[in-house]
Structure 1
Amino acid sequence: MSDISVRVLGEDEWEQYRSVRINALEESPEAFVASADEERAYDEDFWRTRMRRSQRLLAERDGSPVGVASVGQARQEGEKENAKVAELFGLWVAPAARGTGVATQLVQAGADAARQQGRSHLAYWVGADNGRAVAFASGFGFRPTDSRRPMRVKGSEDDEDEVAMVLPLGEDRGTPNL
């Protein structure tokens, strides 16, 4: 089996990110807030702005995309940004690559990117009832917080919620406000 590599996509690689993102939305529509049809309609300016707003991480095997994740500024709806906390979001792994370490490498690359940005913590929102996602995040070192919000993904029930899990990136082992 070939090695997996993860790299940060630049703004000029917006078309590659768009392609992988739409593939993720088509394959796992229940895991995202947006739909493939919505995002397919966005123009180049939208995608370039999106590329500048957050780091887009692409996992590849033999030059082919097998996963994607993003690292951006953490913020709670209606609240200010927390400059010390980055947020990992949009994590997706192609079905054929699941269970091969792609997600782990994407999360590690996200943690490394956040650390390089001078962040003290990395937040990752997961469905509170998604045992597999909670177990994955916990195994990586993320710890659940008291911060919760309604589930924002397509097709979720009104009573479902997400929990913020936080990974300390340095000496500050405390839990930041999210």
Structure 2
Amino acid sequence: MSEITVRPLGEDEWQDYRAVRLEALRESPEAFAATVDEEEAFDEASWRERMKRSARLIAEQDGQAVGVVSVGTAATDDGADAGELFGLWVKPDLRGTDVATKLVTSGAVVARRRGESHLYYWVGTDNGRAVAFASGMGFRPTDERRPMGVASEDDGDEEIAMVLPLGHDPGVIGG
């Protein structure tokens, strides 16, 4: 297998982000609050604005996109400077490899460089694989819960906020 690389996308690379985002929405519609039809209708200005709002990281293998994640700013009750990891997606044939790990690690580095002290990641409480993955990356569960934002989920399902400290400890991701 060829090496997996992760790189940030600039505003002018909105078409690269659009392509992998739409692929993610087509392949895993149940995992996202948006639909492919909604996002296909966005014009260039909308995509460029999205690129400005959050960091977009793309995982590539042999020049082809194989995964994506976004890093935005988290709204916290205590006003702390924290990032939020969202929109994580990896091509199905590469799940269980290190693609997601590389994306999350790179996302933590982005948040740390922005001066954020923590990185939040919302995970479905019934998604054992995602909770285990996040825990293995050093995220810890919080008491924060919210209704699932995914359009195809039944009412009542919840997400849990998991948080990763981004301190100066060399043993901490992004540290």
Name the structure 2 match of 1:145.
142
1:14 aligns with 2:14: yes
1:49 aligns with 2:39: no
TM-score (norm 1): 0.92
Structure 1: 5+ residue runs without aligned partners? 173-178
Name the structure 2 match of 1:66.
66
Aligned residues: 169
Deviation at 1:136, TM superposition (A): 0.2
Structure 2: 5+ residue runs without aligned partners? 170-175
TM-score (norm 2): 0.93
Deviations 1:65-90 (A, max 9, x none): 000000001026xx79x451100000
Separation of aligned partners in 1, 2:80 and 2:53:
14
CA contact (8 A) 1:22 1:36 kept: yes
2:21 aligns to what SS in structure 1? Answer: helix
Deviation at 1:171, TM superposition (A): 5.0
Identity %: 65
Deviations 1:12-63 (A, max 9, x none): 0001100100000000000000000000000000000000000000000111
Separation of aligned partners in 2, 1:10 and 1:171:
27
CA contact (8 A) 1:25 1:36 kept: yes
CA contact (8 A) 1:73 1:83 kept: no
1:75 aligns to what SS in structure 2? Answer: coil
Please, what is the CA RMSD of the aligned residues? 1.4
